[in-house]
Amino acid sequence: MSRYPIIKNTIDYIETHLEDELSLEMVANFAGFSKYHFHRVFQKEIGMTVMEYVRTRRIAVSASQLLYTDQKIIDIAFQYHFETQESYTRAFKKIYKLPPGHYRRIMSTVTLQREDTELKKEQAIKGWFLSGSHPFHYEIGIDRKNFHKGKASGYLKAVSTESIGKFATMMQEFKAEKYLGKRIKLSGFLKSKSVEGFCGLWMRVDNSLGDVLQFDNMGDRPVSGDTEWNHYFIVLDVPENSSVISFGVLLSGSGQVWIDQLNFEEVDEAVQTTNINFSKDILEEPINLSFEEIE
């Protein structure tokens, strides 16, 4: 956990240098570690090596450029430091199952048709729904231009000038049975734009009566303003009497947040929970009843 801020700062560094020369040694030097040690630390936390992450992000950004610009494929390949168009094509096809030229022709048509349809009706997202204090001041949707990996991301956006002091969430709920007695980690990538309040992942574990057993909304490590894609996580225990697990992305106030590549995994007790302990502020007995005591 103590090294996680270093990982986040390193991802910020990578995101702002995707079009620059990047090597494991350069990234490790930025992080302040030897390249061999940082290789292990990064892979353990993110699930891929540093250079796999760099290549994956370069290919994802290039996929968007294929659809939304008329840049030549060879120029895109060189822009993201592929030595030849052939090496770029092999790397691209490994992820998207199509060579870049075919992807551009096929997906451009599909994307334009989909966007035209979405102008005519509100977009629904399988498995997700909009909730919060004032959900009608917000919208959720799928963004096929801004994504961390693959072909799309989800987003939550304030659409009203009256969103200050209000919040909404794009969320899901599922039964807790599979995770009873376990410690689980929700992780994913977020990107924000013009967030004047805050945004972040959240997760809650409830019992059958609706009582909150475990909860974290990243309130002590909020994301605000303009940020590029970065990795965030929540770790909670799932007590034996748990019934429902809820999770999603939260946006308080104005702005927009994107979410992509969510992952659930079981972790051991060596991984510290991020649960907000509401009981720690509850007194053992009443105090200062005459208001004479001072701090």
Contact 147, 133 (CB under 8 A): no
Contact 184, 274 (CB under 8 A): no
| CA 106/CA 91 separation, integer angstroms | 18
Contact 148, 260 (CB under 8 A): yes
Three-state SS at 256: strand
| CA 193/CA 155 separation, integer angstroms | 11
Please state the pTM of the whole predicted model: 0.81
Question: What pLDDT sits at residue 166?
Answer: 84
* Amino acid identity for residue 79 in this structure: Q
Exposure class string for 126-137: b at 16+ Cβ within 10 A, else e: eebebebeebeb
Total residue length of the chain: 295
For 125, the token pair is: 């997202």
Exposure class string for 38-62: b at 16+ Cβ within 10 A, else e: bbebbeebbeeebeebbbbbbbbbb
Question: What pLDDT sits at residue 282?
Answer: 62
Exposure class string for 12-24: b at 16+ Cβ within 10 A, else e: eebbeebeeebeb
Three-state SS at 278: helix
* Amino acid identity for residue 233 in this structure: F
Positions of the chain with pLDDT under 70: 1-2, 108-123, 161-163, 278-283, 295
Residue 153, CB-side half-sphere exposure with 13 Å CA sphere: 24
Question: What pLDDT sits at residue 248?
Answer: 95
| CA 12/CA 204 separation, integer angstroms | 28
Residue 110, CA distances (Å) to 72, 104, 105, 121 in order: 20, 10, 9, 17
| CA 106/CA 149 separation, integer angstroms | 19
Give tens-digit pLDDT for 98-124.
Answer: 899 988 877 766 655 554 444 444 457
Residue 192, CA distances (Å) to 83, 147, 165, 285 in order: 32, 12, 18, 44
Question: What pLDDT sits at residue 163?
Answer: 65
Using only the alpha carbons of the chain, give its radius of gyration.
Answer: 22
Contact 179, 237 (CB under 8 A): no
Question: What pLDDT sits at residue 161?
Answer: 64
